[in-house]
Amino acid sequence: MNPKELLGKKIQQIRKSRGFTQEKLAEIIEMDSGYICKMETGRHTPSLETLEKLSNALKVELSEFLNFETLVEADYKSKLIELIEILPKNKQRQLYNVARALEG
């Protein structure tokens, strides 16, 4: 994922965690909901002024928008789950045993 996409995903993650729809957030920061959609998909990079508005509306520190660690972790987990689901049952059991052995 490129930096614009990561920023967009982070905005989306924070917005959803606060219970806002794109439309409601757009209304609060006085922008078009299409703009929010474009930011969240990485097709548009918000200005610093827009990030400040988002920060105030979502009640997060400005720096939180650049903390991509949780996104990367979530991405690994979702990809791992996808891979596990396509494995045959016996391979899933083997993978489970390996994971248990790695625990400790």
pLDDT in tens, 62-91: 999 998 887 766 667 777 888 899 999 999
In the chain, % of residues over pLDDT 90:
72
pLDDT of residue 74: 67
Burial grade of 36 (CB within 10 A; 0-12, 13-18, 19 or more): buried
Range of the domain at 30: 3-65
The span from the CA of 82 to the CA of 98, in Å, is 17
Which amino acid makes up residue 8?
G
Are 9 and 23 contained in the same domain?
yes
Number of domains in the chain: 2
* Same domain? 31 vs 79: no
- CATH number of residue 22's parent domain: 1.10.260.40
